[in-house]
Chains A and B, each alone.
Chain A
Amino acid sequence: MSAIRAVSGRALPLRGDDIDTDRIIPARFLVAVTFEGLGEHAFEDDRAALSGAHAFDRPEFRGASILLVNRNFGCGSSREHAPQALQRRGIRAIVGESFSEIFAGNALVLGLPCVTASYEVVEKLQSLAEAQPDIAFTLDLESETVTAGDLTASVALKGATRDALLAGTWDSTGALLARFDEVRAVAAKLPYVGGFQASTGR
C-alpha cells in the first residue's frame, strides 16, 4: 500500500441525498464470489431509468475520478460491493456533504477517501463541474482542501482517516494481528469466552 496524499482529476457531479448502496450496485450483482466486473454495473438501474442522462453515462464526465455527492451517500446495506464498484469504475475519491458510516469505512479500507464539505461548498463544486466538465480538480488530503480553477474550498476528514491515508496504513489486518497475544489476553478475561465456568466467571 502506498500513501495517498492527493487525488487529481476531473470531477463527476452526482446530485441527490440518501443515495443508497442498492442504487450504487443493485443486489442482483452481488450473486458472485468476486468483486470483479462490478464497475460496469455501478448505478445500473438508475442509469437505465435515465437512458443515457445519468452522470455516469454523460460523455463529458467520462474518465472523471472525483465523485461529488450530497447528503448521506452510501446509506443502507453494508455491502462493500458499493465502493468496490465505484473504485473499479475509476473513482479515486468522493467529496460529499455526508456519508453513511459503514460506507465510508468500507471505502477507506480500499484506499478510497470520502471527505465531507458543507452544502454550499458541494453545491459550488458540483455547479463548477457541470459548467466546465474539463476542469481539473485536486483534492489535497494533507491541507484538507479541494481546488479547481480559481476555487479553493476546505473539506474535512476524520483525523484517523487522514493519518491512515497519508501514511498508507488504511489496511487494518496487519495492525490487528500485530499484537495477537493482547487479543488472547482480552478474550481470556471475558466470562462468556470461557463458557461462564466457575474459574473464569467473576
Chain B
Amino acid sequence: MGATLFRKIWDAHAVRTLPNGQTQLFVGLHLVHEVTSPQAFEMLRARGLGVAFPDRTVATVDHIVPTLSQARPFADAAADEMLARLSRSCAEHGIRLFDLGDERQGIVHVIGPELGLTQPGMTIACGDSHTSTHGAFGAVAFGIGTSQVRDVLASQCLALDPLKVRRIDLTGRLAPGVAAKDVILALLARLGVTGGNGFAYEYGGEAVDAMSMDERMTLCNMSIEGGARVGYVNPDETTFAYLSGRPFAPQGEAFERAVAWWKTLASDGDAVYDDRITLDASSLEPVVTWGINPGQSVPVSGHVPHETDADGPERASLSEALAYMGLDGGERIEGTRIDVAFIGSCTNGRLSDLREAAKIAKGRKVSPHVRALVVPGSVAVKTAAEHEGLDVIFRDAGFEWRNAGCSMCLAMNPDRLNGREVCASSSNRNFPGRQGSPTGRTLLMSPAMVAAAAVAGEVVDVRRLL
C-alpha cells in the first residue's frame, strides 16, 4: 500500500513520540520575521537557552516595513524597535537575516522559494499562518505561534499531532482569465472555512500539473483559509526546473542527487487518502468575495446571496457579513464600486502576478476615484519587474509603485484603508478590519481582476478586458 508525500516526510522527520502522545518533528527550515519572534527570543533568554540549529534558521522583515520611504528610523518608533530587536537577536544567535536594504529582503513566503531555501521533502515552520505556501514545492510547511517559534529556535523541533490528508483533484485546464486565485477561492466556497480542520490538502490533477510554481504557491497559500494548516503539491519537473540554479538550492551533482531524492517523495499512485474530492477546473470563472471570510464568494457573473439562503447558525453568519459589507443580498457582484485597489501580498505579489495585472493595466487608466497600489512581494520581484518595464506600465496607468513588503494585506504598516473604503485586493483575508480600518471592506480576487477593477472603478469581469 502506497504512502502520501505527507506521510513520507512526516516519518522521515519524526524524532520520537512525546510523553503526551504528540510527535516530536524535526524542522528542516525555520523562517523568522519581525512580528512573531521578539517574544520568542525573549523567552529563550529568560530560560538561558540558545538556538539549536542557527544555520537552518533564516530571518527577514516584511510585515511592518513601510513601502514608501524605508529610511530608518521609521516614523513609528515601536516598529523601528521591532526591526532593531530582530537584527540584535539574529546577530547574537548567528542567524542569517535579510534586512531592509538587502536585495534578498521581502515577504518571508516570497523569498524562501525565490532564494531556493524552500525545497521538496523539507519540514518548514514559520510564525505565520501562510507558511502553507511553501507546500507548493512538496514540502510540509506549518504556520506556528510564538511559543512554538521558541520551541523551534531552542530545539529545531515541534510537538505536533499528525494530519489527515485530503486529495483535491483539479481536472481540466483553466480558461483564459481564470487564475490559481480563482481556483482556491472556489475551493474555499465549496469546502468552507473550517472544512480543512485536521487535514493537509494535497492538490493534484491536470490543472495543477499545468500550473507554474507561482500559481501553485497561490493555491497552497490559502489552504489555511480553509482550516487546512498544510497544503502541498507533489514535486515534479516544474518544481525541479524552478529550483535549478537558485542561490540556496543544491548545485551541480548535488542537485542531481537532490532531484533523485525529491522524486521518491511524491505520493505513490496507490496512496490511500483520508478523503478525496474533485473539482472541474475548466468550469471555473473569475471569483470575487463579497463577505467577511474567504469562503464567502461568488463567480463574477453571480449575485450576492440573500440572508434567507441559509438557516440556523449559517443564517446569522450570512446576515452579519451582509450588514458589515453594507449589502442587501441579491445584488450582482459585478458593478460593486471600489475605492482602493491593492496588488501584492504573499498570495499574489510575485512576478507572474504583476505580469498578469500589467497586461490589464497596459494602455489604460486607473479610474479617477480609485487609489491603486502595486507592492512587489520582494526586492527581487521589484527588480525583475522593473527590468521588464512593468513599473512604467503601472505608473503610466496611475498605479503607485511601492517597495517590497506586506503592505495593505494587514494593518501593521502605514498602508491602510480609511473609514468604510472598499478595496479590491489580491491578498488573502477579508476579515473585518483586516486592512487597517475597523470598518474597511475587502473584496478578494485575482491580481488581474484587481487591475480590471482599478481601471473600471468597480468590480468587472477581467475576461472582457483581455
Contact = CB atoms under 8 A, between A and B. Distances in A.
Determine if chain A interacts with chain B. yes
Interface of A: 15-18, 20, 22-23, 26-28, 30-35, 45-46, 48-49, 70-72, 75-81, 83, 98, 100-102, 105-106, 109-110, 119, 158-160, 163-164, 167, 169, 171-173, 175-177, 179-180, 182-183, 186-187, 189-193, 195-198, 201-202
A177 B412 contact: no
Contacts of B242: none
A71 B129 contact: no
Interface string B7-49: 0000011111011111010101000000110110010000101
20 contacts: A16-B320, A17-B316, A20-B293, A20-B431, A33-B85, A48-B438, A75-B227, A80-B146, A98-B197, A160-B22, A171-B147, A172-B147, A173-B155, A175-B159, A176-B154, A180-B52, A183-B155, A196-B261, A197-B254, A202-B264
A18 B433 contact: no
Interface centre among A33, A195, A201 (most CB of B within 10 A): A33
Contact of A175 (B18, B260, B313): B18
B49 to A, nearest CB: 7
A196 B250 CA distance: 7
B293 A163 contact: no
B145 A78 contact: yes
A106 B149 CA distance: 11
B188 to A, nearest CB: 12
A190 B197 contact: no
B141 to A, nearest CB: 12
Contact of A182 (B15, B22, B148): B15
Interface size, B (range): 35 or more
B98 interface: no
B429 A22 contact: yes
Contacts of A75: 193-194, 227, 293
Nearest to A202: B261
B262 to A, nearest CB: 9
Given A33-B38, A78-B143, A193-B28, 9 more contacts: A72-B193, A72-B227, A79-B146, A105-B148, A109-B147, A172-B158, A173-B49, A173-B150, A176-B18
**Which 4 residue pairs spanning A and B have beta carbons closest together?**
A106-B145, A45-B438, A80-B145, A109-B147
Nearest to A83: B145
Contacts of A34: 38-39, 42
B81 interface: yes
Nearest to B121: A192
Contact of A176 (B24, B85, B258): B24
Contacts of B155: 173, 176-177, 180, 183
A149 B272 CA distance: 48
A191 B259 CA distance: 11
A195 B165 CA distance: 29
Interface of B: 12-16, 18-22, 24, 26, 28, 35-36, 38-39, 42, 47, 49, 52-53, 56, 63-64, 76, 78-79, 81-82, 85, 119, 121-122, 127-129, 131, 143-148, 150-151, 154-159, 161, 193-194, 197-198, 224, 227, 229, 250, 253-255, 257-258, 260-261, 264, 292-293, 313, 316-317, 320, 410-412, 429, 431-434, 436, 438-439
Nearest to A164: B20
A109 B159 CA distance: 11
Contacts of B292: 18
B78 A78 contact: no
B431 A159 contact: no
Interface centre among B128, B146, B255 (most CB of A within 10 A): B146
Interface centre among B78, B144, B254, B255 (most CB of A within 10 A): B254
A105 B122 contact: no
A27 B410 contact: yes
A163 B317 CA distance: 34
B144 A78 contact: yes
Nearest to B18: A175
B100 to A, nearest CB: 16
A30 B292 CA distance: 21
Given A110-B147, A186-B26, A160 B411 contact: no
A159 B22 CA distance: 10
A44 B150 CA distance: 28
A164 B22 CA distance: 10
B438 A169 contact: no
Contact of B13 (A31, A46, A71, A190): A190
